[in-house]
Structure 1
Amino acid sequence: MKVLLFGPAGAGKTSLMRTTCLGYNFMRVANLAPTKGISRENFIFRGLIEVNIWDAGGQQKYMEQYFSETQKEFVFSEITTAIFMVDSTKIDPTIKEIFETYVMNILEFSPHIEKLYVLLNKIDLQNSQEDQIYELLSEVLSDDLKERVEFTPVSVKEGTAQHRLIEILDQEIQKSTLSLQKLGKIRHQLDSFQRDTLADYFLFNRPDGLLITSTLGKFESNPLEFMKFEIGSLDSNIYKIYQKILELKGINTINPLNLDTITYKSEESYILLKDIGNNAVLLAIIKKNEQALLDVIRKLNSDDFHELEALLSEKLNAM
């Protein structure tokens, strides 16, 4: 699935891609260097669909290359999702020309696209002029095209741009038979876990932290981030202690430790988190009952769980 992120320099395209697909916080992307040419990166969005993001650097010299006779078919063909992003604080007359040429090339080389998305970024700033930019860009659209182009005022800093990109990619999942089949199999596994243990299960993708599915269905939640900080330091401390204990016992062979499961508890529940390789994190909510907790632990060491691991590790065919 080819996603083209296009627009003038400084619009926030790379920041959007990294905060959405890699789970970076805004401070980590606040001062990125300009993208040189086209940066292509692959991600597995929500653990369900392979996304190949073409992040096109927006400096003028690169724009000329993208629109040239030798490169335009390469850049604008076989696109699944086209997103044009612009800095709403800068009204530059060249934006209109860039947008018009962009739309023309999309229609020529990827005519199958049903919707074109335009993100008017940085509306969190006081000098944002998203209404004026909307009017400027709309001038190049025919009445028919206006039905196909969706404008959205957003802010990468405040998270609304990420939310919009997630919405757009979720729509592509709904169009993908392979992705829906995989989702159905995963949900079937979690439902069987629930029947056998009476716990609720929530499966999160890595590295974006987005919910793949749960036994309570789909719902909006913040991306899961705990793995990036707490567990790394905890794992390191445990290994040092473990190493010392083995030395005291006269055991010289020390195998690497792999973080497997963490359990939290409240007055009402146990909250168990299990790392599933590099693909996902499974969260279980269990009524505060020791037998119920043991049932979940057994389930997470069973053949059923290994089937879920294998399913999450399956490589998706090109979409």
Structure 2
Amino acid sequence: MKKKVLLMGKSGAGKTSMRSIIFANYIAKDTRRLGATIDVEHSHVRFLGNLVLNLWDCGGQDVFMENYINSQREQIFRNVEVLIYVFDVESREYEKDVRYYQNCLEAINRFSRDARIFCLIHKMDLVQEDKREQTFREREQDLLRRSHPMPIMAFKTSIWDETLYKAWSSIVYSLVPNVQLLENQIENFCRVCEGDEVVLFERATFLVISHYTQVTHSDPHRFEKISNIIKQFKLSCSKSQSQFQSMEIRTPSFAAYIDVLTNNTYIMIIVSDPSIQPAATLMNIKAARAHFETIETGRLQ
């Protein structure tokens, strides 16, 4: 099950850096050595079960953008599931960037009418912190207006914090088959375990696929922060020739368990009830593995 994903935007917007962090285990500071993308770089990323992301990272130099829109129009924009368009928030050619974006929308509307469109307002770390939300909202409203009548979703992103994971988790979530069934089963599992919260992560990227929460939490970015932390920890393990398998964290107020669930996922469960024994939670995870494997491979509909 291949899903074609276009990653587009002007040269220097940060497309290849974010792709390398999410899918190639780069850390932010190492992306400085990446060169400019020439024409289109293709990569196939196996995600959940049979889902393969056919990622087209399109170089953003003017000559390439003109080719995509004119001579390569059908080849680039046919059979697209998702268009991700990256805008550099500090670009001095914003109007020109938007013109290219609108040309891409016209081509998507013709050749892939059902494609989902995501706009990433990138490099937000370069904006003064107290002005980031306002800057993002202004850009978002402008892009919504210029994209009409095509629906879009916009995210503010930076390679230096959890916003990158939030955006890409939402993008991948839109591509996951059986996602409603998966969410229902995550909810059931959380209730059976009497957990506060259960989160499902993709194994390689640690992007959030699904979650269920029974207890209100004050931090809306906690999943993306955890994705970032665990992925950095996994990289540290691999540098010392070790493999990350599972983690158990206990405090006076809660216990957190992160463990392998299926061949392609990790699960995290948070438990605050002190009467629930750790062995019972770990046994529930073990017992649930075969069931979630059948959902992931599509054998349970």
**What TM-score do the two structures reach when normalised by structure 2?**
0.69
* CA distance in 1: counterparts of 2:75 and 2:57, whole angstroms: 14
User: 1:215-248 CA deviation, whole Å, 9 max, x = no partner?
Assistant: 5269642243435146557884xxxxxxxxxxxx
User: 1:40-81 CA deviation, whole Å, 9 max, x = no partner?
Assistant: 334466889654332111123433432343x32121012222
Matching residue of 1:216:
213
SS at match of 2:10: coil
Please tell me whether the aligned partners of residues 259 and 275 of structure 1 are also in contact (alpha carbons under 8 angstroms): no
Matching residue of 2:294:
311
Matching residue of 1:30:
32
* CA distance in 2: counterparts of 1:102 and 1:61, whole angstroms: 15
- Pick closer, same or farther for the CA change 1:21–1:97 going to 2, 3 Å: same
The code of the aligned residue for 1:59 comes to: Q
* CA distance in 2: counterparts of 1:298 and 1:188, whole angstroms: 16
- Pick closer, same or farther for the CA change 1:103–1:117 going to 2, 3 Å: same
Q: 2:59 aligned with 1:57, yes or no? A: yes
Q: 2:259 aligned with 1:274, yes or no? A: yes
Higher CA-based Rg: 1
**What TM-score do the two structures reach when normalised by structure 1?**
0.66
Matching residue of 2:204:
207
* CA distance in 2: counterparts of 1:10 and 1:41, whole angstroms: 20
Q: 2:184 aligned with 1:184, yes or no? A: yes
- Pick closer, same or farther for the CA change 1:217–1:169 going to 2, 3 Å: farther
* CA distance in 2: counterparts of 1:260 and 1:282, whole angstroms: 11
Matching residue of 1:85:
86
In the TM superposition, what are the counterparts of 1:67-86 in structure 2 within 5 Å? 67-69=69-71, 71-86=72-87
SS at match of 1:156: coil
CA apart distance, 1:29? 2.2
- Pick closer, same or farther for the CA change 1:205–1:144 going to 2, 3 Å: closer
- Pick closer, same or farther for the CA change 1:208–1:48 going to 2, 3 Å: farther
Please tell me whether the aligned partners of residues 168 and 207 of structure 2 are also in contact (alpha carbons under 8 angstroms): no
- Pick closer, same or farther for the CA change 1:265–1:15 going to 2, 3 Å: same
* CA distance in 2: counterparts of 1:199 and 1:84, whole angstroms: 36
| Aligned pair partner of 2:148 in 137, 146, 149 | 146
Please tell me whether the aligned partners of residues 13 and 87 of structure 2 are also in contact (alpha carbons under 8 angstroms): yes
CA apart distance, 1:277? 5.9
For structure 2, the residue ranges without an aligned partner over 5 or more in a row are none
- Pick closer, same or farther for the CA change 1:223–1:206 going to 2, 3 Å: farther
- Pick closer, same or farther for the CA change 1:106–1:271 going to 2, 3 Å: closer
* CA distance in 1: counterparts of 2:159 and 2:29, whole angstroms: 9
Q: 2:250 aligned with 1:265, yes or no? A: yes
Q: CA RMSD in A?
A: 4.3
* CA distance in 1: counterparts of 2:101 and 2:189, whole angstroms: 46
Q: 2:166 aligned with 1:163, yes or no? A: yes
* CA distance in 1: counterparts of 2:296 and 2:122, whole angstroms: 35
Matching residue of 1:255:
none
* CA distance in 2: counterparts of 1:16 and 1:7, whole angstroms: 12
The code of the aligned residue for 1:274 comes to: D
The code of the aligned residue for 1:216 comes to: T
CA apart distance, 1:28? 2.9
CA apart distance, 1:10? 0.7
Matching residue of 1:254:
none
Please tell me whether the aligned partners of residues 85 and 118 of structure 2 are also in contact (alpha carbons under 8 angstroms): yes
- Pick closer, same or farther for the CA change 1:47–1:27 going to 2, 3 Å: farther
For structure 1, the residue ranges without an aligned partner over 5 or more in a row are 237-257
In the TM superposition, what are the counterparts of 1:219-238 in structure 2 within 5 Å? 220=221, 221=223, 222-224=225-227, 225-226=229-230, 227-229=233-235, 231-232=237-238, 236=242
CA apart distance, 1:274? 2.2
* CA distance in 1: counterparts of 2:209 and 2:247, whole angstroms: 20
* CA distance in 1: counterparts of 2:283 and 2:55, whole angstroms: 40
* CA distance in 2: counterparts of 1:3 and 1:150, whole angstroms: 15
Q: 2:93 aligned with 1:125, yes or no? A: no
Matching residue of 1:107:
109
Matching residue of 1:241:
none
* CA distance in 2: counterparts of 1:263 and 1:51, whole angstroms: 31
The code of the aligned residue for 1:267 comes to: P
Please tell me whether the aligned partners of residues 256 and 270 of structure 2 are also in contact (alpha carbons under 8 angstroms): yes
Please tell me whether the aligned partners of residues 16 and 161 of structure 1 are also in contact (alpha carbons under 8 angstroms): yes
